[in-house]
Chain A
Amino acid sequence: MRYARPNTPDAKIDFDTRYDNFIGGEFVAPRRGEYFEDITPVTGRPFCEIARSTEEDVDLALDAAHGARARWGRTSAAERANILNKIADVMEAHLEELAVAETWDNGKPIRETLAADLPLAIDHFRYFAGCIRGDEGTLAELDEHTVAYHLKEPLGVVGQIIPWNFPLLMAAWKLAPALAAGNCVVLKPAEQTPATILRWAQLVGHLLPPGVLNIINGFGVEAGKPLARSPRVAKVAFTGETTTGRLIMQYASENIRPVTLELGGKSPNLFFGDILDRDDEFLQKALEGFAMFCLNQGEVCTCPSRALIDRTIYDRFLELAVARTRAVVPGDPLDTDTRIGAQASNDQLEKILAYIDIGKKEGARLRLGGERVRLGGDLEGGYYVAPTIFEGHNKMRIFQEEIFGPVIAVTGFDGFDDAIQLANDTLYGLGAGVWTRSAHQAFRAGRAIEAGRVWTNCYHLYPAHAAFGGYKQSGIGRETHRMMLDHYQQTKNLLVSYDPKPMGFF
């Protein structure tokens, strides 16, 4: 089945020709009156205009957030949880529409937005609605008369800068815990993919008191930077890459503010020799685990883009894996049969092609793909790349940098220690995968790999209530778990004496 494109007859959803910022509960034009084009990677053509904001607009959003802060911070957990649940309900009622919108804005296949992006985003609001209802402070009875109460308070107004690979889901990951904890938010979507979030705000914005959620659009340097640098944000959350991550820490240091950062990785996917012991469902699952590098066109911070295969099964397993991946062919993202869609932007496409180029120059052996795909018709200008499999060694650039495309770099290992050494020979430590029939080996490997999440006999699951975050240069903080609430809360300690007698000290 093929979904009609937005703004055509029978479309599930239409976009407005222009989107302003969402500030104080209404859509507000940018002060300077400038807009930029949002391009759909499906065709490479612009489909709407987005506010190009500057510091004045960020200030306006911060004014609105600070205006709403005291009252929102005092609402009961039940009230906030109810609102988050209502947001989830509205999203669920409009799931197909938002899925089509997200596919159009980002380029990912509708199969994924229907089955993953939207259901996960919806569940995320419900999860944090539940978490905040169950959240509680602590008290310590220090002695007979003295009690230390630890009460949790919202930070106040927080800034969130989100990426373009899962626009709505990444917004949900950051918004749900922040709002649940009682914070007001100024959110800056990526300039590549702002439209769905604004369309979403049209659907759910009225559920929140004005000023609690504010969305500022524009370029990083013009709108993101003043947000990250503002002394009026109590915390900055960012998902992206290392140089901007460092810069955000640097800005935060000017104001002594906390940050949480998710900066990506170069995730190893380890395939141990016992996988081939039997030709069964588990082998098929492991092969699917290899092909997971194609999910979201490889534009995932935890893309399993380094496959490390036991030398004892290397040739046979890779042969099967190449065959499995060959079935993943780029197509119209709005077709429910399409398994891989368009890269999110032209510069992303160019970067992937530049990496394929250096892979070849470094002498890596190309086993599959390795080129841009022209789909013809009006998809001709879209940004499609064939799933690409390289064989090489771990010192090659394609093994060390997250290409953020459907490109996997494959090498072999000799024994457990070599596997772990290769897995950890990276600057990053966000995700990893381990495939084995041995529970002992799975546990040992999972503990030895320096990464925040080790998928074991699975990959690319992103359920709420499993912590997600990085070791090493992959960032700071853990998302998608109730522990993220702590990153959006202050601890107030009331140290109370119930003893009427003086201490007798002075």
Chain B
Amino acid sequence: MSKSPRTINSQESFDALLAGSAFGQCSVLFIGNGIYQLLGGQRPEPLGVKNYALGFSALSDYDVNLIYCSKSQLQLLNMHISELIIPATQLTDYEINQLIVQHDKVLSF
């Protein structure tokens, strides 16, 4: 997931993640502006936009427990892991590379 939360694409990406989890094991990786999707305290309601990020807390109900984010991006954005809505494993750029290699298919959003 690489886009910021206030795009419809991010909301649709989340739908794709849920769809994927119904068929098989899915990991989700947040990189670039995608990290903002995990930021706690979002209140998009005044924009008239659905707060789909509330759904992240329910990911474990969908057996999506492999949640990763980019360590370098967290640092770049001056964010701390404790500010995220859900626990995510920080990965170095090399580990991100390895994560991708370990998976059969990668859907990019």
A joins B in a complex: no
